[in-house]
Each structure stands twice: as C-alpha cells, then as structure tokens.
C-alpha cells in the first residue's frame, strides 16, 4: 500500500477526549473516528486490525469444532418476552418500533435468538451436541460509554452457544471453549488469565472471565506468576480428548479480582504473586436450562421423553481486543503491533522520494517484499524524514525498512525492529533474504 494514496488521517496532537493510551493512539493513527457517543467508524487502518483479530477468533472457533452462522442485529421483542428478559434487561437495550408498530430491538446478545433457531430445527438427542457461533455487531446503551472502542455502545462480539443433552456434555463444551479462548488470546500475544466469575443462582464454578493484564485495566487483579507463561497450553490440543486436566491446571491456580482477594493465599504465594490491573476480553458461562426451559428448546431423549437442553454461552469482545492489544503493547512513541494482528507487516520508508536512486530501490523492495507475501505500507510521501520516522513508530508496524540516498547509492538499507528499536544496516540482498524475498 502506498501511503500517498492511502486513507490514513493521522492526528498531530493528542485528542482531548481520550483518557487512555489505546483510545489516544487509535485516534492519532487514524484507525477510528467517533460518530456519536460510543459509536465509531472503523477507518482503513483500524479495520485491517479488527479483521485480523476477527480472523484469529474465527480460526480458533473452527478448530474447536464450533460452526459459524450469522444472526441478524435486529431481533423481535417477542422472544425476549418469552425468556423474561425484555423487562429485566433495562435501559441498556435499544428498543425499536417498526412501521407496523411491532416491537423490535437491536441485539445486545443472542441467547434468545439462537435458542429459537435451535428449537425450530433440532428435535432428537441424536443431533447433539451442537456448538454454534457468530461474529456480529451488538448494541448496548451503556450508561457511560468510554475509552473509545473499549466500552462502546455499538461493538463487535463473537458469541458462541453450546447445546448438550446433559450436564457432563455441557461441561465438555465449556472446557472446549475454555481452552479455545486461551489459544485465541495467546495467538494475539496476550496473557489472558481466566478468573472465576459470578454464576448467579446456578452456582458452581462454571463461569470465567478472561482478563488480560494492562496498567489501564478497569479492575484490579492478583494472580500466580505461572499465568505469564503464555505458551503453556501448546498448539497441538486434541479437542476430542478429555480437556479437564488441562483446564484444572488453570482453574486451581490463584487468580482473584479485587473482591475475591484472599490475604492468606497471597502470603503463601510469596514471590509468585503478581498484582496488576485487567481488561475483560472474554466471558464464558454455563447456565443449564435457563433459556431452553422458558423457550421450549427440548429434544427427545434416549427413552423417548422430552429433555430441556443444557446450554452455555461464550463471548469475546472482538472490537475491545483491538484496544486491549494496544494497552498491552505500546511505548512512548506509539503502538507496537504483535505480528499476528499487525495491519501491515512491514513499513517501508523512502527518506527522499525525489532522489531517483532511492525511489528505484524502494520500488524494487516494495515489489519483492509484496511478492514474498508480506503486506507492506510504503511511505512514498514528500514529507520530512523526522515526520516519517515518528509516524511509522506511531503506527507501530513490527518491521521497518528505511531507504535513504546514501544507502541507495551504496546498495544498503536499514532495518529496524519496532519492538526492540534495534537498527541494522545491511546490503539490499541480505535485507531481502531476511524476509525470504
């Protein structure tokens, strides 16, 4: 992508309204633009990151045996009256009347709708288990939308739903999502800590929030240092096998929100205790027959009797994750994208576009890197070098290739790793070889 032709409306100054670093950086790098309170346009650079995060979530859901569908954003109020949540949900739900005065709503979540789909299509226990998900925009009229896309009113969520004949099956589904989530966040370079969450009247230990560690998190947390070993789940998980021992390894380690903290347990941890702040990026929930009973989602069991199916729901804040990754990975100069979610892999800087040798070399590098499968953002604008350096650092692409007249003449380029700041001058061929080009 040539920066001269791209749509990247960066801001020179820090926007006043942004209180946290990710919001500031997303506005400054031209990733998003506010449309109204808590509602944003995703500009091209931001949309690239959103799509990459969405794709990682999708790949990991698919690998865990979850099947993607797409439910609408607008739902009939009637279903929510059946479940009893139409009134219970309160003012966070955006209610709409259509031209025939029918009550509709913009979905804040989809338990009712997926249960309605299930009850109309699945009739026998032989068709179970089922795991379904979609990635769709949600609307919640948050009382205090803030921190940019971190707590928006319109936001992108991945929500999955499991259907099982019995509790043992539902727990298997829960464990599948538990492990799937650890893998998903790990791929984004995040340390996600599963924290026990309130389960309400159902009780038990079957709700976890996945919290990533960042200084600007909304809540205070304390946890065992082991959670920082982000690669301890490995990538060769067999989702058909028994995941309970692996899940237990995580759930038996100390992890507590502010209200759950336990002084004696923390004293026993000693050096292994870490305290910090966290951002909730995912939430998994086993709720039994809470929706299947009122909505009549039953199947014929092995003995011919009707059974209300056991359900769970599993959410990931896809748009919130864009901000969360930035909170977890930035420095004073700007964003530092992990490779897996970076909007472009390489930033190519032409320090003097009016120098023929520099521009020729840049064209050659741009073509070769692109041909080798790298997405390149090529800064070919007629701007001062200082502006180019600082904007490239601000945008935070993992690798930079810097071309100036002196190097172009000598056949060398400079490589810079954004995360470490390491710079190295190399002959053009050696630099290309680094990128497999």
Kindly tell me which residue out of 30, 46, 148, 152 binds ligand ATP, with binding defined by CB under 6 A.
Answer: 152
DSSP 167-190: HHHHHHHHHHHHHHHHHHHHHTT-
181 binds ligand ATP (CB under 6 A): no
Tell me the closest approach of the beta carbon of residue 67 to ligand ATP, in angstroms: 20
Q: Is the peptide bond before 129 cis (omega within 30 degrees of 0)?
A: yes
Q: Using CB positions, name the residue nearest to ligand ATP.
A: 317
Smallest distance from ligand ATP to CB 92, Å: 9
Residue 330 makes contact with ligand ATP by CB under 6 A = no
For ligand ATP, which stretch binds (CB under 6 A), given 278-286, 288-296, 386-394, 409-417?
Answer: 278-286
Phi and psi at residue 163, to the nearest 5°: -130, 120
Site for ligand ATP in 93-122 (CB under 6 A): 109
Query: Exposed (0-12), middle (13-18) or buried (19+): which is 382, by Cβ within 10 Å?
Result: exposed
Q: Which residues pair with 19 in a beta bridge?
A: none
Q: Are 260 and 80 in contact (CB under 8 A)?
A: no
Write the CB contacts of 276 (distance below 8 Å, at least 6 apart in sequence): 213, 214, 215, 217, 220, 221, 222, 223
Asked whether 403 and 388 are in contact (CB, 8 A), the reply is: no
> Contact between 283 and ligand ATP (CB under 6 A)?
yes
- Residue 141 as a binder of ligand ATP (CB under 6 A): the answer is no
Please identify which residue in 95, 151, 196, 419 interacts with ligand ATP, judged by CB under 6 A.
151
Least distance between ligand ATP and beta carbon 180 (Å): 15
Q: Is 183 in the site for ligand ATP (CB under 6 A)?
A: no
Closest CA to 265 of 212, 210, 223, 312: 223
CA distance linking residue 78 with residue 295, whole number of Å: 11
Binding mask 224-263 for ligand ATP (x = CB under 6 A): ----------------------------------------
Of residues 331, 340, 46, the one with CA closest to residue 188: 340
Binds ligand ATP (CB under 6 A): choice among 282, 343, 347, 407: 282
User: DSSP state, 404?
Assistant: -
Smallest Cα–Cα separation from 184: which of 314, 311, 285? 314
Residue 27 CB, nearest distance to ligand ATP (Å)? 17
Q: How far apart are CA 17 and CA 148, in angstroms?
A: 9
Burial letters 231-244, b for 16+ CB under 10 A, else e: eeeeeebeeeeebe
Question: Which of 141, 226 has the CB closer to ligand ATP?
Answer: 141
| Tokens (6 digits) for 29 | 């790098």
Place of tokens 């890197």: 369
Q: Which stretch binds ligand ATP (CB under 6 A): 39-47, 200-208, 257-265, 312-320?
A: 312-320
Count of residues touching ligand ATP (by CB under 6 A):
15
* Residue that has been written with the tokens 């609408």 in this structure: 72
Residue whose CB is less far from ligand ATP, 187 or 320: 320
Q: Which stretch binds ligand ATP (CB under 6 A): 122-130, 173-181, 314-322, 394-402?
A: 314-322
The answer to whether 142 contacts ligand ATP (rule: CB under 6 A) is: yes
Q: Could you tell me the smallest distance in angstroms from the CB atom of residue 232 to ligand ATP?
A: 22
Q: Which residue has the tokens 């190399």?
A: 426
User: Quick check: 388 binds ligand ATP (CB under 6 A)?
Assistant: no
Tokens of 152: 């928006």
List binders of ligand ATP among 153-172 (CB under 6 A).
155, 157
280 near ligand ATP, rule: CB under 6 A: yes
Binding site for ligand ATP (CB under 6 A): 109, 140, 142, 151-152, 155, 157, 280-283, 315, 317, 319-320
């Amino acid at each position: 992508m040539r920066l001269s032709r791209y749509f990247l409306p960066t801001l020179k100054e820090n926007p006043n309204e942004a209180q946290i670093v990710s919001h500031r950086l997303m506005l400054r790098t031209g990733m998003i633009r506010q449309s109204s309170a808590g509602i944003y346009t995703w500009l091209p650079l931001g949309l690239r990151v959103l799509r990459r995060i969405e794709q990682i979530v999708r790949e990991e859901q698919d690998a865990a045996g979850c099947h993607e569908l797409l439910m609408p954003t607008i739902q009939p109020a009637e279903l929510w009256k059946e479940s009893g949540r139409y009134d219970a949900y309160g003012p966070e739900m955006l209610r709409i009347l259509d031209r025939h005065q029918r009550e509709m709503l913009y979905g804040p979540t989809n338990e009712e709708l997926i249960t309605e789909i299930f009850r109309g299509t699945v009739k026998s226990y032989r068709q179970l288990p089922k795991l379904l998900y979609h990635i769709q925009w949600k609307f919640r009229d948050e009382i205090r939308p803030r921190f940019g896309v971190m707590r928006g009113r319109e936001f992108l969520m991945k929500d999955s739903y499991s259907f099982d004949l019995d509790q043992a099956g539902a727990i298997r589904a829960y464990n599948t999502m538990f492990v799937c989530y650890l893998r998903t966040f790990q791929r984004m370079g995040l340390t996600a800590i599963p924290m026990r969450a309130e389960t309400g009247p159902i009780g038990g230990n079957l709700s976890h929030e996945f919290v990533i560690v960042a200084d600007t998190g909304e809540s205070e947390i304390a946890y065992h240092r082991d959670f920082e070993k982000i690669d301890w789940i490995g990538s060769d998980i067999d989702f058909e096998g028994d995941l309970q021992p692996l899940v237990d390894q995580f759930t038996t380690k100390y992890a507590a929100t502010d209200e759950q903290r336990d002084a004696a347990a923390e004293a026993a941890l000693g050096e292994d205790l870490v305290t910090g702040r966290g951002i909730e990026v995912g939430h998994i929930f086993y709720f039994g027959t809470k929706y299947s009973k009122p909505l009549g989602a039953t199947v014929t069991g092995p003995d011919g009797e009707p059974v209300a199916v056991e359900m769970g729901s599993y959410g990931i804040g896809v748009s919130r994750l864009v901000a969360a990754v930035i909170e977890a990975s930035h420095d004073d100069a700007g964003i530092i994208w992990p490779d897996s979610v970076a909007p472009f892999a390489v930033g190519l800087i032409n320090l003097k576009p009016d120098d023929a040798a520099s521009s020729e070399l840049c064209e050659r590098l741009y073509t070769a890197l692109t041909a080798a499968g790298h997405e390149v953002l090529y800064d070919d604008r007629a701007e001062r070098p200082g502006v180019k350096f600082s904007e490239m650092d601000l945008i935070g692409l993992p690798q930079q290739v810097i071309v100036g007249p002196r190097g172009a003449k000598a056949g060398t380029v400079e490589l810079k790793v954004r995360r470490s700041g390491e710079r190295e001058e190399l002959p053009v061929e050696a630099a290309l070889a680094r990128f497999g080009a």
